[in-house]
Amino acid sequence: GHITAETLMSILRDKASGICVDAEGFRTAGSMVSVLPRDPALPCVHFFTATPDPSRSVFKPFVFVAGIKPAPQVRSPTFLQDPAKQIPRFQSSVDRRHELYRRHQAALEL
């Protein structure tokens, strides 16, 4: 038969098979499905959850082309006083989670 992107997303969301894990302190970090068309004139489309636990995540489409601007909701924040760039390094910590990840975590707590 034909395997579609939706079929693969369903497989990656399947907890009963053990592919999607959310137990014993371990969680699937994220999932990706790529559609690679045979026609070279068509763009490849990559679907990422960009958040943990694919069973509760939305697969978001990304097309990588020149000049594209990333969505601010999936960019990790930057810091003027970044502990990774100060000497001595990592004397403090900052929340590097992007907005989409933080909102996903808040939804999981509900």
For the segment 11-58, what is each residue's pLDDT rounded down to a tens digit?
A: 999 988 888 887 767 778 789 999 999 998 888 999 998 777 888 888
Q: Are residues 48 and 100 in the same domain?
A: no
Of 93, 103, 97, nearest to 77 by C-alpha is 97
The answer to whether residue 2 scores a pLDDT higher than 70 is yes
Quick one: which H or E segment has residue 23? Answer: strand 22-23
Q: Are residues 27 and 81 in the same domain?
A: no
pTM more than 0.75? no
Q: Are residues 23 and 4 in the same domain?
A: yes
- Number of structural domains (the chain) is 2
Q: Are residues 76 and 58 in the same domain?
A: no
CA distance 69 to 72: 9
Count of other CB atoms within 10 angstroms of residue 40: 7
CA distance 13 to 5: 12
Indicate the burial class of 8 (C-beta count within 10 angstroms; 0-12, 13-18, 19 or more).
middle
Domain with 101, as residue range(s), is 69-109
* More confident: 74 or 85: 85
Q: Are residues 99 and 60 in the same domain?
A: no
Q: Are residues 62 and 84 in the same domain?
A: no
**Averaged over 82-88, what is the pLDDT?**
89
Q: Are residues 2 and 44 in the same domain?
A: yes
Q: Are residues 80 and 40 in the same domain?
A: no
pLDDT in tens, 71-82: 788 788 889 889
Q: Which two tokens stand for residue 15?
A: 């907890």
